[in-house]
Amino acid sequence: MLFKFKSKVTSDLIMLEADGRRLLKIMLGEDPIQGIVLSQDMPQVLAKLESAVAQDEALRAQRSQDAQIGKKQDLVDLTPPEFELDAVRLAQRASPMIKVLKRCVATPADLVWGV
């Protein structure tokens, strides 16, 4: 299944279901299949998404730093991390959505989506 995001000020953004649901959950705190983000709510939604991207990048940097320290001290930790990070960074997945949201903020417009 695909998610199709539409706005009057941008071209359509099509995402795979898993990616679309993940971004919607970050932006709205819920998992709607169809819906709308009103233009007046756009700055808060954009801030939530950018904050999540920053947190993901910080976590990745911390994990990388921890791995480097472990290698230097010849420590081998065979316990799995509390959760695995996706191979594709959230920043990469969210980049097209952030561009759409920024355009919707600059030229006030609603964002709608459906499947």
Tens of pLDDT, residues 97-108: 999 999 999 999
Rounded (5°) CA angle 82-74-61: 45
In sequence order, which ranges of the chain are alpha helices (DSSP H)? Answer: 17-28, 42-72, 90-106
The per-residue pLDDT for 31 is: 67
The pTM for the full model equals 0.81
The pLDDT value recorded for residue 79 is 45
Q: Pairing mode, if any, of strands 13-16 and 35-37?
A: unpaired
Q: Say how far apart CA 91 and CA 52 lie, in whole Å.
A: 9
pLDDT at 78: 47
pLDDT in tens, 19-58: 999 999 999 987 677 799 999 999 999 999 999 999 999 9
| Residue position matching structure tokens 């949201």 | 101
> Residue 84 gets which letter from DSSP?
P
Q: How far is CA 21 from CA 16, 50, 65, 78, in A?
A: 9, 16, 30, 32
